[in-house]
Chains A and B, each alone.
Chain A
């Protein structure tokens, strides 16, 4: 059998192309323009039938890549959590099955058909959840002290969040693949950059929690600690501390969640208690917290406003507002701007430096809006991880 060179075969095939090409509007020019005309037509017809499918393949590939990355982040997170729990808790048995069980925990919110009293129901459910996780951490790592217990609880919660994000993205990816629905995949692909950003933030948070490093959200407690430094501190319900600080001729009741363990406390209950202790004679409440910045704003910018600066499911904000309304106490807020990634990853220098700027802002606020001899509350809201008092 004689071998025909490849170029001969191609030349034979391509020699017929101008004829076909002319029929498709190639224009009857030279060979080169005919090729282009034909390929344009072929490409057009291909896109007409397979364009959407092609687009979907590209999107699915992108989602798949990110899903691999999410899986990697989640597994690294689990590994870090298990290693830290073993190291800190000095457990001799295999803790992996227990950790796995914790990762799949879920919380069902209260029924909202009749919204009256829903806040106390939600509060109760959150308390039970918190206690349950704490008990499990105690069981997994029996040698933990209170500070480590809080840090490990936070570590486990970050691992749970990563696990949940991974499962949700995987669910929609498989659903899109099963149904071959462009719109399912498209929605997932559109929100993926934000999801990935959040997952990366949780991954950084997990590492910070396992080591007990202050995070961006700890800026509120950091400011409160700076104000209460050297003063006597007492505990207040629940998991919070308060110090009576002379401040510009006024008496400031400076409060924060108890540190240095990872703990947000229950600012709602704590503020309620302190207001009642003072029979409502509070001239002003100032809440200091980390606030989400918009794109274009700088990390560590300090801004001032009105209202309860506190995140979470809203239980604490509700309790604080109820008390403020009862005693007609004005409320002011000072926030330190940062994005979600900065808020849960180890504290950045810019955020640390913003603490002094925020204290100056609080000072101005107190001088402008209260009289000498007044009593006011300053609450540094946020996670007290890595911040003592």
Chain B
């Protein structure tokens, strides 16, 4: 289902532009030719020329690879990932604590079914939060 605001779909965002791909392919082609020329020059005994062509070839190939890598990373980064939110349930009578994945309709201090250990006491949601496992980058000064 698309809305009027959605008519321009995300395909443009997800793939590498044709223009960029064209440039990358040309640079890559020239770089390969350059490396072959370097080998040919070396067999003819022109060491300087061979070195020069090798540098150009390697530089061209690296540049193309970096551009392709950066673009694929950009495509991969374009995902909106929802964090895993947990619901923490507690029985005030016996102190039993359990947790499960959040379900629509959960809210803090919502009373749930009776506790399996103490039948007259209802369980309560005491927390709904996410835990971030990876450490944030710190900048010490």
Contacts and interface: CB of A to CB of B under 8 A. Distances in A.
B74 to A, nearest CB: 6
Contact of B74 (A11, A65, A213, A214): A65
Interface residues of A, number: 53
A388 B110 contact: yes
Interface centre among B5, B41, B78, B132 (most CB of A within 10 A): B5
A386 B46 CA distance: 75
B83 A345 contact: yes
A236 B92 CA distance: 29
Contact of A97 (B4, B77, B83): B4
B91 interface: no
A133 B46 CA distance: 76
A190 B82 CA distance: 28
B131 A387 contact: no
Contacts of B53: 7, 10
B108 A5 contact: no
A207 B82 contact: yes
Given A5-B40, A10-B49, A349-B131, A73 B80 contact: yes
Interface in B1-53: 1-6, 8-10, 12-14, 33, 36-37, 40-41, 44, 46, 48-49, 52-53
A71 B10 contact: yes
A383 interface: no
Interface in A1-47: 5-7, 10-11, 14, 31-32, 35
A10 B27 CA distance: 17
Nearest to A71: B13
Nearest to B88: A352
Nearest to A221: B108
Nearest to B51: A32
Interface in B62-119: 74, 77-78, 80, 82-83, 85, 102, 104-110
Contact of B107 (A14, A203, A229, A259): A259
A122 interface: no
Contacts of B14: 72
Interface stretch (A76-84, A285-293, A358-366): A76-84
A72 B78 contact: yes
A96 B110 contact: no
A261 B26 CA distance: 57
Interface in A285-326: 295-296
B59 interface: no
Interface centre among A7, A14, A75 (most CB of B within 10 A): A7
Nearest to A83: B1
A9 to B, nearest CB: 9
B132 A229 contact: no
Given A73-B80, A349-B129, A100 B3 contact: yes
B128 interface: yes
Contacts of A10: 37, 49, 53
B59 to A, nearest CB: 12
Given A65-B74, A348-B129, A100 B1 contact: no
Nearest to B85: A346
A238 to B, nearest CB: 21
A69 B78 contact: yes
Given A229-B109, A260-B110, A349-B129, A100 B80 contact: no
A265 interface: no
Given A11-B49, A32-B48, A71-B13, A78 B5 contact: yes
Contacts of A211: 85, 102, 104
Nearest to A5: B40
A139 interface: no
Interface centre among B6, B13, B128 (most CB of A within 10 A): B128
Nearest to B10: A72
B130 A346 contact: yes
A261 B116 CA distance: 29
Contacts of B108: 214, 222, 225, 260, 386-388
Contacts of B3: 78, 82, 96-97, 99-100
A283 interface: no
B6 A72 contact: no
A169 interface: no
Given A7-B53, A82-B1, A259-B107, 11 more contacts: A6-B37, A7-B44, A10-B37, A68-B78, A75-B6, A79-B1, A99-B3, A296-B139, A346-B128, A347-B129, A388-B108
Q: 8 closest A-B pairs (Cβ-Cβ)?
A: A260-B107, A68-B13, A96-B3, A388-B109, A7-B37, A352-B129, A347-B129, A100-B4
15 contacts: A7-B53, A11-B46, A35-B52, A68-B13, A69-B13, A72-B80, A74-B5, A75-B6, A75-B9, A75-B10, A76-B80, A100-B3, A296-B139, A349-B132, A352-B127
